Structure 1
Amino acid sequence: MKIEQIYTGCLAQGAYYIESNGEVAIIDPLRETQQYVDKAEKENAKIKYIFETHFHADFVSGHIDLAKKTGATIVFGPGAETEYDIYTAKDNETFKLGDISIKVLHTPGHTLESSTYLLLDEKGKEHAIFSGDTLFLGDVGRPDLAIKSDVTKEDLAGMLFDSLRTKIMTLPDDVIVYPAHGAGSACGKNLSKETVGVLGEQKKTNYALRADMTKDEFVKEVLEGIAPPPQYFEKNAMMNKTGYDTFEDVLNQGNTALNPDQFEIIGNREGALVLDVRTEQEFAQGHIPYSIFIGLNGSFAPWVGALITDLKQPILLVTPEGRAKETVTRLSRVGYDNTLGYLNGGIEAWKKSGKDIETITSIPVEEFAKDFKNKTINILDVRKDGEYKSEHLEGNNVQHFALDYINSNMNSIDKNQKYYLHCAGGYRSIIAASILKARGFDNLVDIAGGFGAIKNSGLPTTDFVCPSTL
């Protein structure tokens, strides 16, 4: 028996490769599926099943493409309905895989069809659970993503309480827990950085598994402090239900080199958004007018999903050398399949062609400190609400809204005013500046190093409040 977690850090997502005696099951595969096919072929094994723990909202699964390539059966838990062929399992149904078995435990709560897969080893012993978004290390899945007219988030939270206590907590303490996500995912509130654990430890440390907890207490605690889901979640879940374009077709279209003239012509003709994925420093020093920055070296795909509201939006890319294919792939993981190509030769080719370049002013904190003390200035803090509430610059001239909600807060700032922007370290403030600049806000200054630099500069800040007490 072989179990391999294939973890993708930028999505904080774990897919799983399980093999026994020449037969393979893949759980929650990513969009780019050739990696699983190649792994099975290398092991002289055949992919028999593709198990989906639920309809994912935070990424587009590769289950449909993988089934087409391999002939494997796609398995969902009870109640799942799709526009493509699947096998809808019954609660407690068992699937044979080589010398081991995988048992379906229907665990509704995160979504109605959510299921946990219990692996029984060669001797029939409970060995591991693949818990999807039902149980994380340190947390459980948010129950507010699959609300229907007759099902509320409180209803789902109550179902999750029952699922955990009747299906999960009754298992032996030595059962290994393989969750679908770790820290950084928006599918829960307080996920651990660890990506593999043991059930007995979770029973001791996970707030949601407290033995003395009532259902009412659970519902209150699990719903408390959940931020609204990113706008792309519902759209990704729908793609996972209805289907999508083949990944290879998406990649072939997007991974097309364009010279500056072609790039400009296609952009104007298609109404394309120019997405620049270099570093924030490179973008600030020179970029194509009206382009948006979201850097590959940050939480790229989640920020794209939060900020670009149309999944069908035509996109042209400015990438670091040799990273166009990676960029198209990472966009497709969250459903942005309409990439039309990338700028061959990058920003240097654009400059050499004589086309316009714009910049964003970025100043060191020492220069900002002088302006702060000597002038009446406008400061915009784009960190998350919890970061801002825990500590921020003092002053009536400090304005805050989280980058996540910039599109709905743009009317609260004045195009005729100058704004000094900051986040925690500089990545998000340049994203915000790029979006504002593309919308006609021309007088923007980025504070290099963000709040980390501000805090160390001696400028007045509010007293620190631990985020866990907010």
Structure 2
Amino acid sequence: MQVEQIYTGCLAQGAYYITSNGEAAIIDPLRETQPYLDRIERDGVELKYIFETHFHADFVSGHLDLSKETNAEIVYGPTAQPEFKATVATDNQLFEIGNIKIKVLHTPGHTLESSTYLLIDENGKDHAIFSGDTLFIGDVGRPDLAQKAASMTQDQLAGLLFHSLRNKIMTLADDVIVYPAHGAGSACGKNMSKETISTIGNQKATNYALRANMTEAEFIAEVTEGLLPPPSYFGMNVAMNKKGYDSFQDVLQHGMNALSVTKFEAIADEKGALILDTRNSGDFAKGFIPQSINIGINGDFAPWVGALIANVNQPIILITEVGREKETVTRLSRVGFDHLIGHLEGGFDSWKKAGKDVDTVNRITADQFKAKVKIGESKIIDIRKPSEYSAEHVEEAFSKPLTNINDWIKDIDSKEHFFIHCAGGYRSMIAASILQARGFRNFSEIEGGFNAIAKTNIPKTDFVCQSKMLK
């Protein structure tokens, strides 16, 4: 028996590949299937089952393409209602893979169909659980995402989750390994650890939501406290996972369509396509196609695309670093952005060489910011997360998280100059590109963000350790 965790950092997502005696199973695969097919061929095994822990909200799973390519059976837990051929298992149902078994544990709460898969080894011993979004390392799944579909409140769903954890998971032996679907950085929880593997015993000892003698009321209050609104694309991803989607190969073919400068410009003008520039923030600041939005590929690319563009049906044309076109298309497809028309052949340099209009961002260094800013008079916008802002920030700075830019941008005075920063420059350049696309020119974006500002003597609030704030 072998178990491999296939972890994708930009989505903080874990898929699992399990083999035993010539047969294999995959749990919660990502959209692109080739990594799994490569493993199957390498090991000379037959893929028997594709297990889905629930209808995912933060990414589009690869279950449909993978099943078509291997004839493997797709399996969901009880109450799931997929609109394609799949097995909806019963609680405690067993599935055999070689010499091992997978037992379905229905664990509703994150969603109603959420299920945990218990791996029973060759000797009949409980070995590990694949807990999906029911149990994370240091946290549990948020109970607010399925309210509409479940016709339940988040408190009611949290109550279901409380009983699922205590009756199905915490009763397992302490040495049972915990393999979750996500780690730190995912929007599916609020306090996840950077660790991606643990044990039941360790989680009983360290996970706030699993502590002994915790009442249901206490659990509900603590699990629902401080939940930020889910990204707008979540509901669309759930629908794609439940109803079906275009083949990844078709999406890749469209995205890999190389567009000349003339064709690119015509599509932008005629089809209302969003111009997405995925270069790094420094290169973007020095020159970019007017009206384009910068979300750098070297960061939490896909989640930010999902959070800020939101509509997965939005037509998109791409500007990438030459050679990274396929990677960009793949990462967009993972969160359901399938309506790609193509990419600019030759990247931004081809646009510049063609003598087309170019825009820039007024990016300044932290030292220049220090020389120009007047605390109490200058307007400073900090677009980091509230927890980052609370830990330490420039005195008199306003907290305006990037995730809420579509709300607070309406309050910006186009005549009043302001400074804008994040932690290191990645998010503030996203904000700068959105601001300029909407006609704002009256700001300075700070290179290096708060990390650079903190090295100056600009007045700042007292530092508070964020890990202590979360306890």
Q: Closer, same or farther in 2 for the Cα pair 1:420/1:171, shift >3 Å?
A: same
For residues 106-151 of structure 1, give each alpha carbon's deviation from its aligned partner in whole angstroms, at most 9, with x where no partner exists. Answer: 0001110000000111111101100001111111111110003731
Amino acid paired to 1:408: D
Q: What corresponds to 2:49 in structure 1?
A: 49
CA contact (8 A) 2:375 2:395 kept: no
1:375 is displaced (CA, Å) by 9.8
Q: What corresponds to 2:401 in structure 1?
A: 402
Are 1:455 and 2:463 an aligned pair? no
For residues 303-358 of structure 1, give each alpha carbon's deviation from its aligned partner in whole angstroms, at most 9, with x where no partner exists. Answer: 00110022111111111110000000000100100111111111111111010111
1:374 is displaced (CA, Å) by 9.1
Amino acid paired to 1:173: D
Q: What corresponds to 1:108 in structure 2?
A: 108
Task: Give the paired residue count.
Answer: 468
Tell me, in whole angstroms, the C-alpha distance in 2 between the residues paired with 1:434 and 1:184. 23
Q: What corresponds to 2:78 in structure 1?
A: 78
Indicate the SS of the match to 2:373.
Answer: helix
Return the TM-score normalized by structure 1.
0.97
> What fraction of aligned residue pairs are identical, expressed as a percent?
62
1:277 is displaced (CA, Å) by 0.5
Tell me, in whole angstroms, the C-alpha distance in 1 between the residues paired with 2:270 and 2:124. 61
Q: Structure 2: any 5+ residue segments left out of the alignment?
A: none
Question: 1:110-259 maps to which residues of 2 (within 5 A)?
Answer: 110-148=110-148, 150-259=151-260
Are 1:320 and 2:321 an aligned pair? yes
Deviation larger for 265-274 or 215-224: 265-274
Q: What corresponds to 1:305 in structure 2?
A: 306
Amino acid paired to 2:411: S
Q: What corresponds to 2:97 in structure 1?
A: 97
Indicate the SS of the match to 1:10.
Answer: helix
CA contact (8 A) 2:384 2:422 kept: yes
Tell me, in whole angstroms, the C-alpha distance in 1 between the residues paired with 2:105 and 2:251. 35
1:424 is displaced (CA, Å) by 0.9
Amino acid paired to 1:30: L
Q: What corresponds to 2:35 in structure 1?
A: 35
Tell me, in whole angstroms, the C-alpha distance in 1 between the residues paired with 2:400 and 2:448. 19
Are 1:293 and 2:283 an aligned pair? no
Question: 1:345-356 maps to which residues of 2 (within 5 A)?
Answer: 345-356=346-357
Tell me, in whole angstroms, the C-alpha distance in 1 between the residues paired with 2:376 and 2:441. 19
Indicate the SS of the match to 2:270.
Answer: helix
Tell me, in whole angstroms, the C-alpha distance in 1 between the residues paired with 2:44 and 2:369. 61
Tell me, in whole angstroms, the C-alpha distance in 1 between the residues paired with 2:436 and 2:282. 16
Tell me, in whole angstroms, the C-alpha distance in 2 between the residues paired with 1:335 and 1:87. 24
CA contact (8 A) 2:231 2:310 kept: no
Q: What corresponds to 2:343 in structure 1?
A: 342
Tell me, in whole angstroms, the C-alpha distance in 2 between the residues paired with 1:150 and 1:35. 38
Tell me, in whole angstroms, the C-alpha distance in 2 between the residues paired with 1:171 and 1:281. 51
1:463 is displaced (CA, Å) by 2.0
Tell me, in whole angstroms, the C-alpha distance in 2 between the residues paired with 1:68 and 1:3. 23
Amino acid paired to 1:447: I
Deviation larger for 274-283 or 366-375: 366-375
**RMSD (Å) for aligned C-alpha atoms:** 1.3
Deviation larger for 90-99 or 447-456: 447-456
Q: Structure 1: any 5+ residue segments left out of the alignment?
A: none
Tell me, in whole angstroms, the C-alpha distance in 2 between the residues paired with 1:14 and 1:150. 29
Q: What corresponds to 2:410 in structure 1?
A: 411
Amino acid paired to 1:108: P
1:385 is displaced (CA, Å) by 1.4
For residues 279-307 of structure 1, give each alpha carbon's deviation from its aligned partner in whole angstroms, at most 9, with x where no partner exists. Answer: 00000011000000000111001100110
Tell me, in whole angstroms, the C-alpha distance in 1 between the residues paired with 2:130 and 2:229. 26
Tell me, in whole angstroms, the C-alpha distance in 2 between the residues paired with 1:378 and 1:177. 47
Tell me, in whole angstroms, the C-alpha distance in 2 between the residues paired with 1:212 and 1:376. 52
1:466 is displaced (CA, Å) by 3.5
